[in-house]
């Protein structure tokens, strides 16, 4: 959720492919929220996650996750498994609300990558 990272961040969006952690850490440094998911989650859940994209939220597939879903911001991490339950959208909304744009490098709201 922090540390060495690439010089360029990623564009916000929904990615069903893996992006380098070092790229996304740069996004976190700019106050973005990174939602990552294991490739094995159901397609319906992927579509639910897609709804969170926008502003400072990026969603990517990440095979190295040790849980189904991970929510990351600068120095903050929340991880959970679905366990045959519906996606806890309130948990995600609350994480975004608490940690979006709370990072060392402030970027104006209209400068999304």
Is the sign of the CA dihedral 6, 15, 75, 98 positive or negative? positive
Bridge partners of 76, per DSSP, are 73
Stretch among 4-13, 16-25, 70-79, 83-92 having the lowest mean pLDDT? 4-13
pLDDT, position 46: 98
Note the pTM of the prediction, 2 decimals.
Answer: 0.93
pLDDT, position 105: 82
Decide if pLDDT at 3 tops 70: yes
Structure tokens at 55: 């502003």
Is the sign of the CA dihedral 34, 82, 18, 55 positive or negative? negative
User: What digits encode the pLDDT tens for the residues 67-88?
Assistant: 999 999 999 999 999 999 999 9
3-class secondary-structure state, position 45: helix
């Amino acid at each position: 959720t922090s540390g060495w990272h690439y010089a360029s961040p990623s564009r916000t969006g929904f990615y069903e492919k893996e992006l380098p952690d070092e790229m996304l850490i740069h996004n976190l440094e700019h106050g973005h929220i990174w939602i990552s998911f294991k490739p094995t989650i159901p397609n319906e859940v992927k579509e639910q996650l897609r709804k969170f994209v926008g502003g400072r939220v990026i969603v990517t597939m990440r095979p190295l996750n040790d849980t189904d879903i991970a929510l990351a911001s600068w120095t903050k991490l929340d991880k959970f498994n679905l366990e045959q339950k519906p996606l806890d959208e309130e948990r995600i909304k609350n994480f975004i609300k608490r940690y979006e744009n709370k990072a060392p490098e402030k970027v104006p709201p209209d400068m999304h990558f």
